Amino acid sequence: MSQPCEAIVSRLQPLPIAGASDLTRAIWTVVVVAGLGALFLLLRWLMRRRFRDEAGMSVVTRRLVYLLALVALAATGHIWLGQAGYWAQVEGFVERTLGMGPRTFRALLWTIAVIVGYLAVRSVLAGFAARRIQDVSKRYAATKTISYLLGLVALIALIRIWLGGVTGIATYLGLVSAGIAIALQDPLTNLAGWLYLVVRKPLVVGDRVQVGQHAGDVIDISLFQFTLVEIGQWVDADQSTGRLLHIPNGWVFKQTVCNYTKGFNFIWNELPVTVTFESNWRAAKDILSRIANEHSAVKSEHAAQQIRKASQKYLIFFQHLTPIVWTSVVENGITLTIRYLCTPRNRRSSAEKMWEEILLEFAKHDDIDFAYPTWRVFSNPTEAKPGLRPGAGPQ
């Protein structure tokens, strides 16, 4: 056998394990596995008494199995490799085979343990939160909080594993160069944008916002981007298109952020109604005023309190909060514009209800007609005012 092959075979020799205490370690392994199995059965019995949903129960059970399997793996590893001499043999085998030093090998194992533990604990806690919290928004907030807290703990643990304490962290941070910062400019900007979103909260999950040319409802905020359910585009009246928009967090520093629901929870909507010149526009205006007051969002004390509360934090001042009808003249008639407050998501439904009632009310009045673009022939000798007809001199 050639020299290279002999070297490879010598490196792949099995680890020597002394047989003196193998039976004891095997007994302890059985005890640990049996104990964890009994604990699993006990926890499953308790959960069956508390939870009635079989689908949710299966999810929680599967996550519990993952967590207990991780504990069993750690315990058996300690039993078989934790004795004096065995761990050193494993490290020596890895160093001979892979060329990996003992410190790097231990750091790698601890990294794997931290990542697996993070995933297992997050899965179990998220499952319990999903079972205990029925409200969708509260469940989302609880799941995000669990992920962030466990992620922070895992990040601290990984830094501690690889950098070896405060001195290592300071040394590492001092070695970060400007070139790396330039190369990661966009991710760092998005991370800074996430911190801004978390601290200042210009938008939160559930808000309706517009960022630049994109508008929608916020459904998720992560470290590098936030997600909107798009509204507008080819759909009228701020209705959803069904598309998801993933917008980088850094856009909050570069684009205008318009929030429909932050602080002042209402928006002004206008509904123009044009009647002919010959119509009784005063009666039409009275009808529109009554309809607007019936369908306006600001007709309850609760809405008025929200407006007053918003005015305490922001310089929001409106002279009229109640609906109003403005009168103007256009080419084909008299336009009566209803201006009223509504919630952002009820803009289309409120306009629809108003239009239906307007159509029904105008149909009851013979002296009110809708105006539309028409051609009209005007005879000045017969239709003009007497003083303006041809041949009429000064009286």
pLDDT digits (tens, 9 = 90+) for 30-39: 888 888 788 8
**How confident is the model over 338-361, as a mean pLDDT?**
90
**Is 137 within the bounds of a domain?**
yes
Q: Residue 141: its pLDDT value, please? A: 73
**Is 287 within the bounds of a domain?**
yes
Between CA 62 and CA 47 the distance in angstroms is: 13
Q: How many domains does the chain have?
A: 3
Buried b vs exposed e over 308-344: b needs ≥16 C-beta within 10 Å?
eeeeeeeeeeeeebebebeeeeeeebbbbebbbbbbb
**Of the residues 233, 259, 285, which one is the last residue of a structural domain?**
259
On whether both 150 and 202 belong to a single domain, the answer is no
On whether both 115 and 210 belong to a single domain, the answer is no
Per-residue pLDDT at 200 exceeds 60: yes
Q: What single-letter amino acid sits at 31?
A: V
Confidence band for 5, pLDDT divided at 50, 70 and 90: very low
CATH number at residue 349: 3.30.70.100
On whether both 21 and 110 belong to a single domain, the answer is yes
On whether both 84 and 128 belong to a single domain, the answer is yes
On whether both 91 and 197 belong to a single domain, the answer is no
On whether both 277 and 253 belong to a single domain, the answer is no
**Is 376 within the bounds of a domain?**
no
Q: Residue 358: its pLDDT value, please? A: 93
Q: Which residues, 6 or more positions from 268, have their beta carbon under 8 angstroms from its beta carbon?
A: 339, 340, 341
For residues 298 and 308, the answer to whether their CB atoms sit within 8 Å is no
Q: Residue 11: its pLDDT value, please? A: 44
**Of the residues 259, 278, 309, which one is the last residue of a structural domain?**
259
For residues 44 and 12, the answer to whether their CB atoms sit within 8 Å is no
On whether both 285 and 249 belong to a single domain, the answer is no
Confidence band for 285, pLDDT divided at 50, 70 and 90: very high
**Is 212 within the bounds of a domain?**
yes
On whether both 238 and 274 belong to a single domain, the answer is no
On whether both 7 and 142 belong to a single domain, the answer is yes
Confidence band for 181, pLDDT divided at 50, 70 and 90: low
**Is 383 within the bounds of a domain?**
no
Domain membership of residue 196 as a residue range: 186-259
CATH number at residue 211: 2.30.30.60
Confidence band for 3, pLDDT divided at 50, 70 and 90: very low
61 or 234: which leads in pLDDT? 234
**Of the residues 237, 259, 281, which one is the last residue of a structural domain?**
259
Q: How many residues does the chain have?
A: 395
On whether both 12 and 112 belong to a single domain, the answer is yes
Confidence band for 286, pLDDT divided at 50, 70 and 90: very high
**Is 177 within the bounds of a domain?**
no
Q: Residue 20: its pLDDT value, please? A: 40
**Is 275 within the bounds of a domain?**
yes
On whether both 190 and 325 belong to a single domain, the answer is no
The tokens describing 77, both together, are 């590893």
Measured in whole angstroms, the distance separating CA 251 from the mean position of its chain's CA atoms is 15
Per-residue pLDDT at 56 exceeds 90: no
**Is 377 within the bounds of a domain?**
no
Q: Residue 18: its pLDDT value, please? A: 41
On whether both 134 and 11 belong to a single domain, the answer is yes
